[in-house]
C-alpha cells in the first residue's frame, strides 16, 4: 500500500479565511512496508498528519493519495470504510478507548464494523489469534477490560486494530507512560508486525526507538516538514540537530562527545553500544 | 523527627483484588530528593495517592511530616503536600496561567492583595512570568506542567510529589521540568521531593532511591547502591541507566572503566 500527500495543508479553523494552519504544504511519499518514525515537538502537527492519512480529517488544501483512493476536501470518497480498514490507527493512551464488556467483544468490534464477520469464520479463533500476536493468551478473552493493567489494556486495544488486518498500522506514542521493559516489549511487537509485512508509522518522542527501529524519519516543526531521511543521517548531523532543536539518542550523545576527544572515531558509524565499543577499541589500537 | 514520610505496616487493596501493598513500612528523610522506582503496576501511584488521602487508608499508619494521616489531620497534611500528576491537560483548572496558580491560593484563603506578588514569584521560578495571561490552549505540555509546579509551590509545601510528571512530555518539556527541579533543590533545601518516574536519568541524580516491587520496598539506597546492582535491577524488572549499561558492556569487553553517573563523566574516563 502506497501513501502520498501532495501539497497537504490542514487548518482546524472552520471560518472562511483560514489563517492558522496545523499542516503546511506537506509532501511525503510513504512506501509499502516502511517503518517510518514521525517526530517533532508537541503541537507540531504529527497527530494532524496521521489523521489525514485515513480521512479522519480531510485536507484543507492539497490531497492524500492512498492506492486508488484520492482524499480531498469536500469530495465524497467512495468506500471510505474500505480505506479505513486498510489503515489502522492506534491513538495515544488507547487503554481509555476500550468500551465493551469483555476483551473478546472489544477486539471483534472492528471486524464486525467492517463486515468481516460471517458464518464461516470462527470469531473466538480470530480474537485469540490477535491476542497471541500482542502477547496475551486466550484466558484474556472473557476478562473485563477494567480487570487489566494499563499495559495489558493497551495491548488489547492494539489487538482490536490488528483484528481487521490493516496493511498499515499507525501508532501514536505507543510507549508513553510504560516502564522501560514494557516499552521495549511494545516496540518489539511493532518490529515483529513489520517483519510480517505491515507498514508501521510510529509517532514518538523516544529518539532511541527512532534510531533502533525506523528505516526512515520525518520531522515536523510548526506544521512544516523539516526533515525526511534516514535516522542516522539526522542524528549524526550536529548542525541539523541543533537547527531543528531535536534531542538525540544517548548513544549518539556518547558518540559525539567521544569523537571530540578521539576524532578518528568519526570515521565509523555507531548506532548501538556494541558498535561503539568495537570501534572505540579499533581507534585506541591505532 | 527526621522523616517527611513514614509508612507503618500499610496494606492496601483495590476492591476484591489481592493486596497491592502488603504490610509496607518505609521512611523518607526530610529535605531529600527521593525517587520511587518500580515497574508498571508495582503500586507507585497508589503510594502517592495514599499519602495525600485520595485513597482510603484501612490498614496501617502513615505519617506525613510527623502528623498521622487520619480524618482529623487530613486538611493539615494536604496543606503541606503538593502533587503534580502525569497528564498536563487534566490538572490545568484556571482559564489563564495566573488564574491557575491563584486557584490553590484562593482555596487557602490567601488575601487577594498578596496574590499577584506570590503568583509572579512562582511563575518566575518556573520561567513562565511572561505567560501570566496565556490560556492553556496556547501552552505546550511542558509549559502546563511548569505552571502546575508553580501552583503547587505557591502553597509552600513541605513535600512535593511528582507522579510521573514528565512522562507525557516531549524531550524539550522533560528537560524544562528537570531544570526546574534542580533549581528547587538548590534554592529550597528544606523541601522534600518525592519523584515517581521511569526515567533513569532522573533517578541517577537523586539523593535516595526506593525500589518497589510486589507491594514491598525491596531496597533503599543511593543511586550508586541501586543503579549499579545489575542483579537487583533484573529481579525488579528495571533496566539500568544508559551509562551503567555502557560501562558494564565495556567491562565485559576487557575495558576497565570506573563508576560513572553521566555520559560526560564516562567520556572523561575513556
Nearest-CB residue to B140 (from A41, A182, A262): A41
Across the range B5-19, mean pLDDT stands at 88
Put residue A138 in one of left, alpha, beta given phi > 0 → left and psi -120 to 50 → alpha.
Answer: alpha
Distance CA B176, CA A217 (A): 25
B242 contacts A250? CB cut-off 8 A: yes
State the Cα–Cα distance between residues A27 and B174, nearest whole angstrom.
30
Q: Is the pLDDT of residue A6 over 70?
A: yes
Give the pLDDT of residue A76.
Answer: 76
- Average of pLDDT values for B83-104? 87
CA distance A153 to A144: 10
Q: Is the pLDDT of residue B7 over 90?
A: yes
- DSSP class of residue A136? -
ipTM for the whole complex: 0.84
> Can you tell me whether residue B100 is helix, strand or coil?
helix
The dihedral through the CA atoms of A47, A53, A6, A4 has a sign that is positive
d(CA B266, CA A270): 17
Could you give the CA distance from residue B20 to residue B48 in angstroms, rounded to a whole number?
A: 13
Q: Tell me whether residues B169 and A181 touch, CB distance under 8 A.
A: no
Residue B156 or B208, more confident = B208
- Residue B142 pLDDT > 90: no
Say yes or no for a CB contact (<8 Å) between B171 and A207: yes
The answer to whether residues B72 and B78 touch, using CB atoms and an 8 Å cutoff, is: no
Q: Which residue of A has its CA nearest to B233?
A: A181
- Which pLDDT value is given to residue B1? 62
Taking contacts as CB-CB distances below 8 angstroms, the residues of chain A near B146 are: none
The residues, any chain, with a CB within 8 Å of residue B236's CB and separated by 6 or more, are B37, B38, B39, B211, B213, B218
Which residues of A have a CB under 8 Å from any CB of B?
A: 41-43, 149-151, 176-182, 184, 205, 207, 245-247, 250-251, 253-254, 257-258, 261-262, 273-274, 276-277, 280-281
The answer to whether the beta carbons of residues B228 and B53 sit under 8 Å apart is: no
Pairing of strands B67-68, B21-29: unpaired
Reported confidence tier of residue B91, pLDDT bands at 50, 70, 90: confident
* Cβ contacts of B270 on chain A, cutoff 8 Å: 258, 261-262, 280
**From A258, which residue of chain B is nearest by alpha-carbon distance?**
B267
Q: Which residue has the higher pLDDT, B168 or A277?
A: A277
Q: What is the reported pLDDT for B249?
A: 95
- Residue B221 has what pLDDT? 96
Q: Are B37 and B238 in contact (CB under 8 A)?
A: yes
- Residue extents of the structural domains in chain B: 3-223
Burial of B122 (0-12, 13-18, 19+ CB in 10 A): buried
| Mean of per-residue pLDDT scores for chain A | 91
Q: Which of A42, A176, A246 sits opposite B167 (nearest CB)?
A: A176
A12-31 pLDDT per residue, tens: 887 777 778 999 999 999 99
Domains of chain A: 3-248 (3.40.50.300), 249-286 (no CATH)
What's the rounded Cα separation, in Å, for the pair A237 and A208?
16
Question: Number of CB pairs < 8 Å for A and B?
Answer: 82
Mutation site for A-interface testing, chosen from B140, B171, B179 by largest number of A Cβ within 10 Å = B171
Distance from the Cα of B156 to chain A's closest Cα (Å) equals 29
For residue A208, CA distances in Å to A27, A184, A221 come to: 26, 11, 20
DSSP code, position A193: H
Alpha-carbon span A285 to A19, nearest angstrom:
60
Which residue of B13, B15, B40 is the best one to mutate when testing the A interface, meaning the one whose CB has the most A CBs within 10 A?
Answer: B40
Q: Do B246 and A245 count as a contact with CB atoms less than 8 A apart?
A: no
Phi/psi for A60 (5° steps) reads: -80, -45
Q: Per-residue confidence at B70, pLDDT binned at 50, 70, 90?
A: very high
Sheet with strand B208-213: strands edge to edge: B81-84, B159-163, B192-196, B33-37, B208-213, B216-221
CB-CB under 8 Å, A273 with B170: no
Distance from CA of A244 to the nearest CA of B (A): 12
Interface test with B, best of A12, A20, A41, A42 (most B CBs within 10 A): A42
Whole-angstrom Cα distance, residue A124 to residue A150? 23
Closest CA to A172 of A97, A93, A98, A96: A93
**What are the residues of chain B with a beta carbon less than 8 Å away from any beta carbon of chain A?**
38-41, 86, 140-142, 164, 167-173, 175, 198, 200, 237-239, 242, 245-246, 249-250, 253, 255, 263-264, 266-267, 270
pLDDT at B260 over 70: yes
For B84, the enclosing helix (H) or strand (E) is strand B81-84
Looking at residue A86, what is its pLDDT?
93
Dihedral of CA atoms A17, A23, A29, A32 in degrees, nearest 10, equals -120
Rounded alpha-carbon distances, angstroms, from residue A254 to A234, B10, B127, B173, B245: 16, 43, 30, 22, 12
Q: How many CB atoms lie within 10 A of CB A210?
A: 26
For testing contact with chain B, the best of A254, A258, A271, A274 (most B CBs within 10 A)? A254
- According to DSSP, the residues that pair with A21 across neighbouring strands are none
Strands B67-68 and B59-64: antiparallel
Residue among A76, A71, A45, A46 nearest A59 (CA): A71
Q: Each residue of A30-73: pLDDT tens digit?
A: 999 999 999 998 889 999 999 999 999 999 999 999 988 899 98
For B108-125, how does the pLDDT look when each residue is reduced to its tens digit (9 = 90+)?
888 889 999 999 998 998
Q: What is the mean pLDDT of residues B196-224?
A: 93
* Predicted local distance difference test score (pLDDT) of residue B165: 87
B108, HSE (Cβ side, Cα atoms, 13 Å): 22
What are the residues facing B12 on neighbouring strands? B21
| Interhelix angle A103-113/A123-133, nearest 10 degrees | 110
Q: What digits encode the pLDDT tens for the residues A120-155? A: 678 888 899 999 999 999 999 999 988 887 778 899
Q: How confident is the model at residue B197 (pLDDT cuts 50, 70, 90)?
A: very high
| Helix B242-252 and helix A250-261, axial crossing angle in degrees, nearest 10 | 60
Q: Between the CA of residue B195 and those of A93, A133, A176, B38, what are the distances in Å?
A: 22, 35, 17, 12
CATH architecture of the domain covering B3-223: 3-Layer(aba) Sandwich (3.40)
pLDDT on residue A119: 66
DSSP string covering B119-157:
HHHHHHHTT-GGGTT--GGGS-HHHHHHHHHHHHHTT--
Beta carbons of B249 and A274 less than 8 Å apart: yes
Output the average pLDDT for chain B.
91
Asked if residue A237 has pLDDT above 80, the reply is yes
Q: What is the arithmetic mean of pLDDT over A177-192?
A: 91
Helix axes A273-285, B242-252, angle to 10 degrees: 50
Largest Cα separation within chain A, whole Å, is: 70
Amino acid at each position: 500500500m502506497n501513501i502520498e500527500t501532495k501539497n497537504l495543508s490542514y487548518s482546524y479553523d472552520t471560518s472562511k479565511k483560514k489563517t492558522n494552519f496545523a499542516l503546511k504544504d506537506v509532501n511525503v511519499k510513504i512506501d509499502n512496508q516502511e517503518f517510518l518514525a514521525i517526530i517533532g515537538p508537541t503541537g507540531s502537527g504529527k497527530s494532524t498528519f496521521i489523521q489525514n492519512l485515513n480521512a479522519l480529517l480531510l485536507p484543507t488544501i492539497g490531497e492524500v493519495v492512498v492506492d486508488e483512493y484520492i482524499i480531498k476536501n469536500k469530495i465524497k470518497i467512495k468506500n471510505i470504510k474500505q480505506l479505513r480498514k486498510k489503515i489502522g490507527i492506534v491513538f495515544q493512551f488507547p487503554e481509555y478507548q476500550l468500551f465493551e464488556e469483555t476483551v473478546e467483544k472489544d477486539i471483534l468490534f472492528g471486524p464486525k464494523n467492517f463486515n468481516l464477520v460471517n458464518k464461516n469464520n470462527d470469531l473466538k479463533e480470530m480474537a485469540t489469534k490477535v491476542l497471541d500476536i500482542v502477547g496475551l493468551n486466550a484466558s484474556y478473552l472473557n476478562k473485563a477490560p477494567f480487570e487489566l493493567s494499563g499495559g495489558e489494556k493497551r495491548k488489547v486495544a492494539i489487538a482490536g486494530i490488528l483484528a481487521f488486518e490493516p496493511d498499515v498500522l499507525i501508532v501514536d506514542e505507543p510507549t508513553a507512560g510504560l516502564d522501560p521493559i514494557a516499552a521495549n516489549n511494545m516496540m518489539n511487537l511493532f518490529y515483529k508486525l513489520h517483519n510480517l509485512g505491515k507498514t508501521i508509522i510510529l509517532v514518538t518522542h523516544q529518539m532511541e526507538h527512532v534510531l533502533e527501529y525506523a528505516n526512515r524519519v520525518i520531522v515536523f516543526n510548526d506544521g512544516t516538514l523539516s526533515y525526511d531521511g534516514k535516522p542516522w543521517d539526522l542524528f549524526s548531523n550536529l548542525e541539523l540537530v541543533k537547527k531543528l532543536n531535536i534531542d538525540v539518542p544517548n548513544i549518539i550523545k556518547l558518540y559525539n562527545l567521544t569523537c571530540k576527544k578521539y576524532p578518528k572515531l568519526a570515521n565509523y558509524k555507531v548506532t548501538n553500544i556494541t558498535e561503539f565499543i568495537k570501534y572505540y577499541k579499533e581507534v585506541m589500537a591505532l | 523527627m527526621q522523616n517527611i514520610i513514614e509508612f507503618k505496616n500499610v496494606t492496601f487493596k483495590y476492591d476484591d483484588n489481592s493486596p497491592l501493598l502488603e504490610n509496607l513500612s518505609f521512611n523518607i528523610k526530610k529535605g531529600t530528593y527521593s525517587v520511587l522506582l518500580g515497574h508498571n503496576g508495582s503500586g507507585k501511584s497508589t503510594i502517592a495517592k495514599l499519602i495525600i488521602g485520595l485513597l482510603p487508608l484501612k490498614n496501617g499508619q502513615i505519617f506525613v511530616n510527623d502528623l498521622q494521616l487520619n480524618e482529623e489531620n487530613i486538611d493539615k497534611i494536604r496543606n503541606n503536600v503538593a502533587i503534580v500528576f502525569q497528564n498536563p491537560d487534566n490538572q490545568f483548572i484556571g482559564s489563564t496561567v495566573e488564574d491557575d496558580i491563584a486557584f490553590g491560593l484562593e482555596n487557602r484563603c490567601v488575601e487577594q492583595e498578596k496574590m499577584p506578588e506570590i503568583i509572579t514569584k512562582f511563575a518566575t521560578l518556573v520561567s513562565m512570568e511572561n505567560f501570566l495571561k496565556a490560556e492553556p490552549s496556547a501552552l505546550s505540555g511542558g509549559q502546563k506542567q511548569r505552571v502546575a509546579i508553580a501552583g503547587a509551590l505557591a502553597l509552600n509545601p513541605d513535600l512535593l510529589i511528582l507522579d510521573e510528571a514528565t512522562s507525557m512530555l516531549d524531550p524539550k518539556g522533560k528537560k524544562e521540568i528537570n531544570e526546574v527541579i534542580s533549581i528547587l533543590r538548590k534554592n529550597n533545601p528544606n523541601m522534600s521531593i518525592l519523584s515517581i518516574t521511569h526515567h533513569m536519568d532522573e533517578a541517577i541524580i537523586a539523593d535516595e532511591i526506593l525500589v518497589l516491587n510486589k507491594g514491598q520496598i525491596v531496597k533503599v539506597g543511593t543511586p550508586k547502591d541501586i543503579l549499579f546492582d545489575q542483579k537487583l535491577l533484573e529481579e525488579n524488572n528495571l533496566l539500568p541507566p544508559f551509562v551503567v549499561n555502557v560501562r558494564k558492556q565495556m567491562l565485559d569487553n576487557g575495558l576497565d572503566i570506573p563508576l560513572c553517573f553521566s555520559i560526560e563523566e564516562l567520556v572523561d574516563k575513556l
